[in-house]
């Protein structure tokens, strides 16, 4: 079973959104997936429950993939990080978010750093965000570990309703932004 841990010490970066999108994408590609929500807020688990109420099973055991949505990387999340095949870190490319994310990344040992994939979320291509992305790229270059995926721009417009749950798979939508499928493919390609 492949374990993908979604984490970031900073709140509001899109961890649950990315976790649920990964589950949805894997379901869409006919993979069996289990979602584990370790965050006390239970956003991902609420999504699973809402989909189940709509008549659609999105999380199951046994599974080929396990997606673990964490509230951060400290406490019990540390054991999940140790077990991870891949660590996905959604972040917003703003100063406060990046300082927390970069400090956390530098504190990891090189074995864990090698498993980290950063997902620039809510990308708006502003000067501040471009500078932030450049700063993270420099840290990755210095650490010689970690990768950055393509950006996820349309989160506010597209994904708010997604987390309410649905009877249909999100990736079966005809007007789905191409960036979303591209991002899921990038993440899963790094897992191989």
Residue 116 structure tokens: 């980290």
Q: Report pTM.
A: 0.93
CA dihedral 75, 6, 115, 57 (to 10 degrees): 120
2-191 topology per CATH: Rossmann fold (3.40.50)
Hey, where are the domains in the chain?
Answer: 2-191
List, in sequence order, every beta strand (DSSP E) within the chain: 2-6, 33-37, 65-69, 86-91, 116-120, 147-148
- Helix axis angle, 178-191 to 15-28, nearest 10°: 80
Tens of pLDDT, residues 108-162:
999 999 999 999 988 888 898 899 999 999 999 999 999 999 888 865 445 666 7
Tens of pLDDT, residues 172-184:
887 777 888 899 9
Tens of pLDDT, residues 23-54:
999 999 999 999 999 988 898 999 999 999 99
């Amino acid at each position: 079973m492949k374990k993908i841990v979604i984490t970031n010490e900073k709140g509001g970066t899109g961890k649950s959104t990315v976790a649920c999108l990964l589950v949805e994408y894997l379901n869409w590609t006919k993979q069996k997936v289990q979602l584990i929500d370790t965050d006390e807020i239970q956003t991902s688990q609420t999504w699973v429950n809402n989909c189940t109420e709509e008549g659609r099973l999105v999380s199951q055991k046994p599974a080929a993939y396990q997606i673990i949505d964490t509230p951060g990387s400290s406490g019990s999340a540390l054991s999940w990080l140790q077990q991870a095949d891949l660590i996905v870190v959604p972040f917003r490319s703003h100063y406060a978010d990046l300082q927390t994310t970069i400090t956390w990344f530098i504190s990891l040992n090189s074995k864990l750093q090698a498993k980290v994939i950063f997902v620039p979320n809510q990308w708006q291509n502003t000067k501040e965000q471009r500078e932030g992305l450049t700063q993270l790229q420099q840290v990755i270059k210095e650490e010689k570990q970690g990768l950055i995926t393509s950006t996820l721009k349309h989160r506010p417009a597209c994904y708010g309703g997604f987390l309410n749950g649905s009877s249909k798979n999100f990736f079966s939508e005809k007007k789905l932004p191409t960036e979303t499928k591209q991002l899921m493919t990038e993440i899963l390609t790094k897992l191989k």
